[in-house]
């Protein structure tokens, strides 16, 4: 969780999720890096990861909403 806190405080893009943690571990030359999903599980167990709610639009529907066309492909 220390690496996550460091990323949250210092990341220029504000990324501190599982993918950012994995990338940082690779940059630091860690030899045994957990799978992305494993890092996600660790964050969930620690209460540091919020799952999207049912009211949060998915990436697929967000494009449709932003485009305003009402179809899946515009």
Residue 56 lies in a domain: no
Of the two residues 73 and 27, the one the predictor is more confident about is: 27
Q: Report pLDDT for 48.
A: 73
Average pLDDT estimate for 22-44 = 91
- Does residue 73 form part of some domain? no
Instruction: Retrieve residue 28's tokens.
Output: 């630091």
Q: Is residue 63 part of a domain?
A: no
17 lies in a domain? yes
CA angle 23, 1, 49 (to 5 degrees): 80
The percent of residues in the chain predicted with pLDDT above 90, rounded, is: 18
The token pair that represents 8 in the structure block: 């949250």
pLDDT, residue 72, reads 60
Domain residue limits at 17 = 2-51
68 domain residue, yes or no: no
User: Does residue 41 lie in a domain region?
Assistant: yes
Distance from C-alpha of 72 to C-alpha of 29, rounded to nearest angstrom = 42
* Number of domains present in the structure of the chain: 1
Q: Using pLDDT thresholds of 50, 70 and 90, give the confidence band for residue 74.
A: low
Is 16 a residue whose pLDDT tops 60?
Answer: yes
Residue 27 lies in a domain: yes
Token code pair at residue 7:
């990323």
């Amino acid at each position: 969780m220390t690496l996550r806190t460091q990323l949250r405080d210092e990341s220029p893009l504000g990324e501190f999720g599982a993918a950012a943690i994995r990338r940082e571990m690779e940059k630091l030359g860690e030899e045994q890096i957990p799978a992305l999903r494993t890092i996600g599980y660790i964050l969930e167990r620690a209460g540091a990861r919020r799952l999207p709610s049912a009211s949060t639009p998915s990436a697929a529907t967000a494009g449709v909403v932003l485009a305003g066309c009402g179809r899946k492909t515009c």
